[in-house]
Amino acid sequence: MSNKRINALMIESSRCMGCQSCEVACKLEHELPAGPRPVKVIQIGPLQTDNGLAMRYETVTCYHCDRAACVAACPTGAMQKRPDGIVFSDPELCIGCQTCAVACPFGVPELNPATGKIAKCDGCRDRVDQGLWPSCALKCPSGCLSFGTPMRVVNDLRTREALTIVRTLAVR
Amino acid sequence: MVQYEPFKRVSGTRQDFDRQVATVCQECTVGCGLTAYVKDEGIVDLQGREDHPISKGRLCPKGSAFVQGLAHSQRITIPAYRNTLTRGFESATSWEQALDQLAERLRRLKDKHGAESLIIGCDPEAGLDFYLGARRFARLWGTPHVYHPWEETEQATRLAQELPVSPSSEWIESRCLLLVDADLAVTHPVAFGRVLKAQGNGAKLIVADSRYTASMSKADLAVPIRPGSGNLLGLYLLKQLLDEGLEHKDAIEAGFEQADNWQASFDRMVWDGVENHTHVTREDVLNISRFISSKHPVTVITGKRLAHSPDFGIWRTLAAAMGWIGHPGGGWYPMDAGLPRVHPDTDIEEPPPENFSPRLAPFPYQNRSGSNEELLFQGLIGSGNCLDDFFLPVRRQSPKMELIVHFGAFPNETCQQAHMVFSAAAWAERDGLCWSIDRALQWAPRILPPADASHSGLGFWAGLAQRLGWDEFFPWIRKDGRADRFEFYRWLLKRDPQTASCDLSQLRDNQDLFFWTDKTEFPEAGETPQFYTQNGRIKPVDAPELPTAEDSDIDDGEYPLYFQSTRIVTRGGDAGNWWPWTAELEDVDAIQIHPDTAGVLGIENGDAVVVNSPKGCLEGRAWISRMVDRRMVWSPRRLEGDHVLLLKKGQSADEALNLLKENTP
């Protein structure tokens, strides 16, 4: 196991307002044309429930799996997993065969029609290597996306939840 | 208490860049700070400014996506003209030559049809200066027909100016936020981020809307209301609060004019038909009013749509009567009402033409006498895609008009109708003054120089005025032929006491914000706030004798469904329709239909459908969703008329109407 610092992208879908800032940020960062959407906001509902209608947004992107099926399936070695966990496709090696897209149980890899190569979340590896936040998380206005070590993001979530409960009780 | 240290977001770019420009996003009126990274006169990256007091580093999708429009292959960057609509456009040799030609064509139009045959439509994307320049030009030209969608919020601005303001940064202090007909998550996502933050801080969120919106999905209490009944809900809430004696008596006594008469009007108001008028039951009105009276302070955030009704001031009255005004996180926050008073034409002393009416409210296509007789125009100068947007009623006349001039950046539907086209600079290509809904003014330096022969709105009007002999009224032209926007805004701000103390140089050099109403000194506990009126009191809105909404729930004529059109989140103005990456994110041709209504008409998701109103029709693809009520149809595209008939393509109107009537419970 490498000592390289492992970071996680925390997606707190309950905070997502469906604004698609993350999608646009990703397109801008990776100069993607219409078509591939490495991060995607999916609207679910409104569904009829016992308490009226309910609707939420789910932000979905690559899970950067530990044993990534796309990496195992790639015939050219373009799809790789870095020591810090990021799964990315090297455009120099990618031949656009889309075997990874078939192998991925979540349908994440997509073809970039402009280059004929795979477009997939690369964890903003170039930004992360410079110590910057991934573009989607940086441009999320709702606070749904955050970035840091797993310990840090989980602690942050727990602390905020606890504070919300305390404040709600305090102002009741 | 645990001290929570928020995450430090690490911003910056990985791209090579020559220079950074700190400016203000102008896709909407929140006024978010952004940093653009520029290389070789192209934007290579964009980010929110973490130190910006309004947006704190946040940007919405529009604030990132606008770069797609700047170097777009179809962008209009030089003026063009044609003699008849059947011919293609010819490029002008220069901006100056095109203006010469326009001046000549306008002179002929005036000689033949008179000054008032010209109408001017200004869209927000063309900038404040296009609108202000148009007002000034029109005053000299002699036409009162200048229209801008911002005028819809004039009433809100006027009413809100008399109140101490609690900016959005203080919503975090609020105990409850009540959003009425305001889908901030879509129209102003960064501002909605503040709503969510307040909610995380324990505030309750109540959202009342006629559609199940993104904002409503986050509400602690969702209140579906009948379309167009938002203000009525305010009246009923206030009546309930007064009936139960939950109002803030001291605030009313100290702050209201003729409080007794006002209170008596609510005593006379009846509860009959409340559910029919608003779709909210009597019991729910009771629950909401008890709920909001138990929270203090409450901020009421109202959408632009409500401002059309004369009862709009009810929200100000409600906030004042409950004593929420004057407390951080409390009061009334009408959306898009942050523009200070401006007087772009009152210095012109030349005698106006006979019968000249300086302003024509509320819509230019309404006869000045107030009758419904339609005014006829022969000339139109319009920015953006006005004929397909807020000028739909004028569009019916456009095929017969002698001269249509399009000031814009894209070959949209308005451009297709035009005889002359003038290339407009994008907001990122012009220095300018921005106003924000928080009532702050900011100076926004341009990121890039204007593309080719593109000019700002002020440049357009000043150039035209020069050719008509009105140089002295438009002295803001520099030697290079471009408008001196800084001097223009400096002149404008000095013209009203509200903004005269604003030092524009300081705004520009220090990236400061100027709040044009002083933020209130919040009163001590037990004191009541002072309103900014001569006697320190405001005039409250009386309860109407009878609610003004129609009695029948559904118009049982030929158009039995409500129609509503609102903006979508990834597109602001017309330019958004040309952004290639974002085109796929949301379908502008979607027509939202309730599953029950779709079932009755045999419509499935994605089917081609037609929406007919008495004045037009709209084609699109069915999006079956419970976001709309079964009596409502929604689309991002505009259509004239509130009541419509929906049909599956190929279905006859009679067939659809019969199916709807037979199957509506």
Q: What secondary structure letter does DSSP report for A39? A: S
SS3 (DSSP) at A163:
helix
Q: CA-nearest residue of chain B to A41? A: B585
Q: What secondary structure letter does DSSP report for B455? A: B
Phi, psi of B592 (to 5 degrees): -85, 130
Which ranges in B8-142 belong to alpha helices (H)? 61-65, 67-70, 95-113, 128-141
Q: Is residue B8 part of a domain?
A: no
Separation in Å, CA A70 to CA A169, B316, B466:
47, 58, 66
**Does A139 contact B59 at a Cβ distance shorter than 8 Å?**
yes
How many angstroms separate the CA atoms of B297 and B295, rounded? 6
Q: Is residue B343 part of a domain?
A: no
Pairing of strands A40-49, A52-60: antiparallel
B450 with B583, same domain: the answer is no
> Which CATH number fits the domain that encloses residue A12?
3.30.70.20
> Which CATH number fits the domain that encloses residue B599?
2.40.40.20
Separation in Å, CA B338 to CA A138, B60, B178, B299, B342:
28, 20, 19, 16, 12
A109 with A71, same domain: the answer is yes
Of B10, B61, B581, the CB nearest to A33: B581
How many angstroms separate the CA atoms of A79 and A125, rounded? 14
Does B362 have pLDDT greater than 50? no
Q: Which residue has the higher pLDDT, B263 or B354?
A: B263
Task: Give the type of residue at A39.
Answer: V
B287 with B190, same domain: the answer is yes
Binning chain B into helix, strand and coil, the percentages to the nearest 5 are: 35, 20, 50
Name the domain count of chain A.
Answer: 2
> With contact defined as beta carbons under 8 Å apart, do B204 and B295 qualify?
yes
- Choose, out of B1, B5, B14, the residue to mutate when testing the contact with A (most A CBs < 10 Å): B14
A94 with A139, same domain: the answer is no
SS3 (DSSP) at A151:
helix
Element (H, E) at A42: strand A40-49
- Choose, out of A128, A139, A157, the residue to mutate when testing the contact with B (most B CBs < 10 Å): A139
Residue B360 binned pLDDT confidence (cut-offs 50, 70, 90): very low
Q: Is residue B48 part of a domain?
A: no
SS3 (DSSP) at B575:
helix
Residues of A in contact with B201 (CB under 8 A): 164, 167
Q: How far is B340 from chain A (nearest CA, A)?
A: 27
CA–CA–CA angle B653, B654, B655 (5° rounding): 90
- Choose, out of A16, A142, A164, A166, the residue to mutate when testing the contact with B (most B CBs < 10 Å): A142
Phi, psi of B636 (to 5 degrees): -70, -20
A134 with A57, same domain: the answer is yes
Residue B356 binned pLDDT confidence (cut-offs 50, 70, 90): low
A112 with A138, same domain: the answer is no
Owner of token pair 């195992």: A72
Q: Which residue has the higher pLDDT, B7 or B585?
A: B585
Residue A1: the pLDDT is: 43
**Does B196 contact A17 at a Cβ distance shorter than 8 Å?**
yes
C-beta atoms surrounding B188 within 10 Å: 29
B198 with B300, same domain: the answer is yes
B508 with B398, same domain: the answer is yes
Q: How far is A44 from chain B (nearest CA, A)?
A: 10
Residue A77 binned pLDDT confidence (cut-offs 50, 70, 90): very high
Q: How far is A80 from chain B (nearest CA, A)?
A: 21
SS3 (DSSP) at B508:
helix
Dihedral, B87, B92, B96, B97 alpha carbons, nearest 10: -70
pLDDT digits (tens, 9 = 90+) for B297-346: 999 999 998 988 888 999 999 999 999 998 889 999 999 888 888 889 88
Q: What secondary structure letter does DSSP report for A3? A: -
Residues of B in contact with A156 (CB under 8 A): 7
How many angstroms separate the CA atoms of A141 and A16, rounded? 9
Of B642, B646, B657, B663, nearest to B210 by C-alpha is B642
**Does B197 contact A138 at a Cβ distance shorter than 8 Å?**
no
A56 with A73, same domain: the answer is no
Residue B3: the pLDDT is: 63
pLDDT digits (tens, 9 = 90+) for B415-458: 999 999 999 999 999 999 999 998 899 999 999 999 999 999 99
B581 with B484, same domain: the answer is no
Of B89, B72, B24, B65, nearest to B438 by C-alpha is B24
Of B1, B14, B67, the CB nearest to A132: B14
SS3 (DSSP) at B233:
helix
Q: Give, to the nearest 10 degrees, the angle between helix B230-243 and helix B314-321.
A: 30
Task: Give the type of residue at B145.
Answer: H
Q: CA-nearest residue of chain B to A27? A: B581
Does B664 have pLDDT greater than 80? no
A1 with A49, same domain: the answer is yes
Q: How far is A90 from chain B (nearest CA, A)?
A: 18
**Does B60 contact A141 at a Cβ distance shorter than 8 Å?**
yes
Q: Count of alpha carbons within 13 Å of B481, Cβ hemisphere only? A: 13
**Does A52 contact B222 at a Cβ distance shorter than 8 Å?**
yes
Q: How far is B243 from chain A (nearest CA, A)?
A: 24
C-beta atoms surrounding B5 within 10 Å: 8
pLDDT digits (tens, 9 = 90+) for B13-46: 999 999 999 999 999 999 999 999 999 999 999 9
A131 with A57, same domain: the answer is yes
**Domain encompassing residue A134:** 1-61+127-172
Q: And the tokens for B181?
A: 């007909």
Of B379, B398, B456, nearest to B423 by C-alpha is B456
B146 with B188, same domain: the answer is no
Q: Is residue B309 part of a domain?
A: yes
- Choose, out of B62, B218, B298, the residue to mutate when testing the contact with A (most A CBs < 10 Å): B218
Q: Is residue B348 part of a domain?
A: no
B314 with B175, same domain: the answer is yes
C-beta atoms surrounding B326 within 10 Å: 25
Residues of A in contact with B197 (CB under 8 A): 143
Q: How far is A96 from chain B (nearest CA, A)?
A: 21
Residues of B in contact with A148 (CB under 8 A): 7
Q: Is residue B61 part of a domain?
A: no
Of B1, B212, B569, the CB nearest to A46: B212
B576 with B614, same domain: the answer is yes
**Does A168 contact B217 at a Cβ distance shorter than 8 Å?**
no
C-beta atoms surrounding A98 within 10 Å: 15
SS3 (DSSP) at B652:
coil
Residue B165: the pLDDT is: 78
> Which CATH number fits the domain that encloses residue B458?
3.40.50.740
**Does B222 contact A170 at a Cβ distance shorter than 8 Å?**
no
**Does A18 contact B569 at a Cβ distance shorter than 8 Å?**
yes
**Does A171 contact B59 at a Cβ distance shorter than 8 Å?**
no
Of A20, A156, A166, the CB nearest to B569: A20
How many angstroms separate the CA atoms of B245 and B285, rounded? 15
pLDDT digits (tens, 9 = 90+) for B581-615: 888 899 999 999 999 999 999 999 999 999 999 98
A23 with A41, same domain: the answer is yes
B316 with B186, same domain: the answer is yes
Alpha carbon B385 to chain centroid distance?
15
- Choose, out of B1, B4, B5, B9, the residue to mutate when testing the contact with A (most A CBs < 10 Å): B9
Calculate mean pLDDT across residues B208-236: 96
Name the domain count of chain B.
Answer: 3
**Does B64 contact A25 at a Cβ distance shorter than 8 Å?**
yes
C-beta atoms surrounding B71 within 10 Å: 13
Does B50 have pLDDT greater than 60? yes
B272 with B127, same domain: the answer is no
Q: How far is A75 from chain B (nearest CA, A)?
A: 30
Strands lying side by side in the sheet with B432-435:
B432-435, B440-444, B514-515
> Which CATH number fits the domain that encloses residue B279?
3.40.228.10
> With contact defined as beta carbons under 8 Å apart, do A39 and A167 qualify?
no
Residues of B in contact with A32 (CB under 8 A): 581
pLDDT digits (tens, 9 = 90+) for A117-160: 999 999 999 999 999 999 999 999 999 999 999 998 998 888 88
Strands (E), B40-82: 42-48, 80-81
Residue A160: the pLDDT is: 84
A4 with A55, same domain: the answer is yes
- Choose, out of A7, A9, A12, A17, the residue to mutate when testing the contact with B (most B CBs < 10 Å): A17
Of A21, A54, A164, the CB nearest to B200: A164
Of A19, A131, A166, the CB nearest to B185: A19
**Does B11 contact A132 at a Cβ distance shorter than 8 Å?**
yes
Peptide bond into B362 cis (omega under 30): yes
CA–CA–CA angle B581, A32, B586 (5° rounding): 25
Q: And the tokens for B222?
A: 């969702």
> With contact defined as beta carbons under 8 Å apart, do B170 and B199 qualify?
no
Residues of B in contact with A53 (CB under 8 A): 212, 222, 626
Residue B468 binned pLDDT confidence (cut-offs 50, 70, 90): very high
Q: Is residue B76 part of a domain?
A: no
**Domain encompassing residue B200:** 167-329
B186 with B273, same domain: the answer is yes
pLDDT digits (tens, 9 = 90+) for B403-419: 999 999 999 999 999 99
Q: CA-nearest residue of chain B to A18? A: B214
pLDDT cut 90: percent of chain A above it: 83
